[in-house]
Every structure is written in C-alpha cells, then in structure tokens.
C-alpha cells in the first residue's frame, strides 16, 4: 500500500515540492495515511443519490492478533441485530 501511495505522489503534477516531501513522509510512517492518499472518500459516495459527505478521516492502530482467541471470532459481526447469537429470532 505504501509503495502504491508513493507512486501516486510521484505522479501527481499538482503537488508542490514541499507538500510532496510531507506526503511521502506521512504515507511511509502511517498505513492509514497511505490508504487515505489512495482512496478519496468523496469519490466513494459522490454518485450516491441523497448523500453529501461532510467529513471523512482514516485512522489505524497496531494490535496483537491471536487467531485462537475467542475475541477474534470471524463471524462475530455477522449476527443480525434481530437474532440471538445462536441464530434464533428475538421477539420484538
């Protein structure tokens, strides 16, 4: 990701030299900055009817990954809000 962001910076004809150096340092030191340089949030939603993006930001943090930990259940976020974790429907 960093290499792609650095290539995009190098190819940007509208980026002044002093800003180019700052951008190169930022994308090299922070993966979120590299992602932000490659993906424009406004482009992601610009053609969605009724959507006006007021603000966008990117952030990242390094964490320890333990694939055996129950905290890293891949399906954890796949549970619908109207279902219990065992798949049964919740009465409303």
Q: Where are the alpha helices (DSSP H) in 1-92?
A: 2-11, 17-29, 31-38, 41-45
- Contact call for residues 50 and 18 (beta carbons, < 8 A): no
Residue 66 tokens, joined: 């333990």
Q: What is the pLDDT of residues 50-89, one digit of tens each?
A: 888 888 776 667 778 888 888 776 665 555 544 454 554 4
Say whether pLDDT at 23 is over 50.
yes
* 28-55 confidence digits (pLDDT tens): 998 888 988 898 888 888 888 988 888 8
Q: What is the pTM of this model?
A: 0.53
């Amino acid at each position: 990701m960093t290499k792609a962001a650095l290539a995009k910076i190098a190819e940007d004809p509208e980026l002044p030299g002093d800003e180019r150096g700052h951008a190169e340092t930022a994308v090299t030191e922070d993966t979120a900055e590299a992602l932000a340089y490659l993906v424009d949030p406004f482009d992601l939603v610009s053609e969605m009817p009724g959507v006006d993006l007021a603000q966008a930001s990117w952030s990242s943090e390094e964490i320890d990954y333990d694939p055996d930990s129950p905290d890293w259940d891949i399906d954890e976020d796949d549970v619908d809000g109207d279902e219990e974790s065992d798949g049964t429907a919740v009465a409303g």
